[in-house]
Amino acid sequence: MESLTISEWLLTELKQGRFPPRMPSHRRVYEAIRRAIATQHLTPGARLPSTRSLAEELSLSRNTLLAAFEQLHEEGYVVSRIGSGTRVAATLPESFVPMRASGATTDAEPPMNTSGRNTSGLSKRGAIVAGPSDQPSYEVQPFTPGEDDFSAFPTQIWRRLLNRQWRDPQPAFLDYGHAGGHLPLRHAIANYLRMSRTVNLTVEQVLITSGTQQSIDLCARMLTDYGDRVWVENPCYWGARRVLEVNGLSLHPVPVDDEGMAPGNTDFRNPPRLIYTTPSHQYPKGVAMSYGRRRLLLDYAASRGAWILEDDYDSEFRFEGRPLSSLQGMDQSGCVLYMGTFSKVMYPGIKLGYIVVPPELAERFKRGLYELQRPGQVVIQAALADFIEEGHFSTHIRRLRQIYKERRYLLQKALAPVTNVGARLPPAGSGLHLVVELPAACDDVRVAELAAEQGLRVYPLSHYSVGEKREKGLIIGYAYASTDRITTYGRILADVIQAALSN
């Protein structure tokens, strides 16, 4: 394939027809060129053929090519300068590059060859994590759940704090760092959690990790063995599920109702070693766990010697109602591990999160963290400690809360008409995404595809189900689209949903 010209390559790509049927031509060309960049058939700095010659070679109108080029230019994939034509940008908008450059070859499971290694070469657990994921295969679009708007992030302050650390770094700051994390950051987190989340803790219980995946992974490894049962909410956060599965755990799905995780008799007959839950804001459904349900879960875990892993991932963004205390703060028997992340309030690439473990586990978890992940990034940890201690963190949270509250309100308003055709918009007072519940007969994957054709990426709720029972709905993120565009996009999405349900 390397010897094809770029026009030939694009032609092949366009003919293979791996695009949604109703995707307009200019968008197909746009996608094909992005794939060419992602797969290095076009490298940074490479010159693209003119729109005129490409239009000829691909048998498309020149306007189609112009529209595709404009979008590529707008999103930073290409640059154009007078006299030198259009070139692939030297620095690409990385997060937008699709993960699966050639989607066709990655899903089928190849057969075993004679030497006993299947030709994919992956292990069974490897095949699980390399399987289809919840990740966008196209670019980030206005409603992509889990994506944030960084325009409000105080980059200048952050740069100043980082610079202060780098000006005269202590040698220790370049080393792996203390096993539990940078002490001033652990202090700052302990103070924050004590005040804002009623977490009951001393600084020794706080461990800095490199984010949610690593926190869940560490807990799974330190607390469970291969084949152990773990209760997960159904539907469940995809990232958690993958990490639990790769650790050889048997996932037992527990239904979620309007009071949160709702274990019944079938569940109680299957006691777990670990319970993974998102009580403040169930992912993805958004409900908060009721007081009674919290007590039930804590008492059950204590009586069974099970651990509870409380993922308080979105707790900073509660827009109405009294903030709920953490499960950890209600726990009398020391069976709760509490975790949070800085990826939403700061930025995802910061790769910092934390776990609060019961006192008697602290030393051992520190050792496990060191052995399995090696700490580091002390400079960033030190800057973050300053960011929190100097008050920038709470200022920034307040600001984000204001922004996201408005977006959520506008989105809810724009989506309101869907309730006329059988969809439901459950109340949600927190978080960075909404769920639209669709009737059981509805194909939510198809509705998500229809939305994608309009340039709106939303996730089908059924995708997050564990086991047979699949609830239908759409998960819609509102943290990424700018406030002034959210109504427009919301109306388009409402139209898509209404059209789908009216068919």
Q: Residue 424 carries which DSSP code?
A: B
Q: Shortest gap between Cβ of 460 and a copy of itself (angstroms)?
A: 19
State how far the alpha carbon of 199 is from the alpha carbons of 259, 260, 282, in Å.
21, 20, 19
List the one residue out of 388, 283, 377 whose CA is nearest residue 345.
Answer: 388
Which residues from 423-482 bind a copy of itself, rule CB under 8 A? none
Per CB under 8 A, 169 contacts a copy of itself: yes
Among the listed residues 97, 296, 403, 425, the single contact to a copy of itself using CB under 8 A:
97
Per CB under 8 A, 224 contacts a copy of itself: yes
Among the listed residues 4, 152, 172, 195, the single contact to a copy of itself using CB under 8 A:
172
Q: Which two tokens stand for residue 251?
A: 């996932």
Among the listed residues 32, 60, 189, 223, the single contact to a copy of itself using CB under 8 A:
223
Q: Shortest gap between Cβ of 483 and a copy of itself (angstroms)?
A: 16
Please work out the total of residues on this chain that contact a copy of itself, with binding judged by CB under 8 A.
Answer: 110
Stretch 321-360: interaction string toward a copy of itself, x if CB under 8 A: --------------------------xxxxx------x-x
Interatomic CA distance for residues 410 and 265, integer angstroms: 41
Choose the stretch contacting a copy of itself; rule: CB under 8 A; options: 218-226, 408-416, 453-461, 487-495.
218-226
Classify 408 as helix, strand or coil. Answer: helix
Per CB under 8 A, 294 contacts a copy of itself: no
Asked whether 181 and 381 are in contact (CB, 8 A), the reply is yes
Per CB under 8 A, 40 contacts a copy of itself: yes
Among the listed residues 27, 34, 242, 408, the single contact to a copy of itself using CB under 8 A:
242
Q: Which two tokens stand for residue 109?
A: 């499971």
Query: Which residue, 238 or 319, has its beta carbon nearer to a copy of itself?
Result: 238
Query: Which residue, 114 or 265, has its beta carbon nearer to a copy of itself?
Result: 114
Among the listed residues 56, 57, 70, 204, the single contact to a copy of itself using CB under 8 A:
204
Q: Residue 258 carries which DSSP code?
A: T
The order of strands in the sheet holding 307-311 is 206-209, 353-356, 336-341, 307-311, 274-277, 229-234, 250-257, 260-261
Choose the stretch contacting a copy of itself; rule: CB under 8 A; options: 66-74, 257-265, 377-385, 389-397.
377-385
Asked whether 467 and 234 are in contact (CB, 8 A), the reply is yes
Distance between start and end Cα atoms, the chain? 43
Which residues from 124-143 bind a copy of itself, rule CB under 8 A? 124-126, 129-131, 133, 135
Among the listed residues 243, 411, 432, 476, the single contact to a copy of itself using CB under 8 A:
243
Cis peptide before 235 (omega within 30 of 0): yes
Interatomic CA distance for residues 220 and 92, integer angstroms: 36
Asked whether 16 and 25 are in contact (CB, 8 A), the reply is no
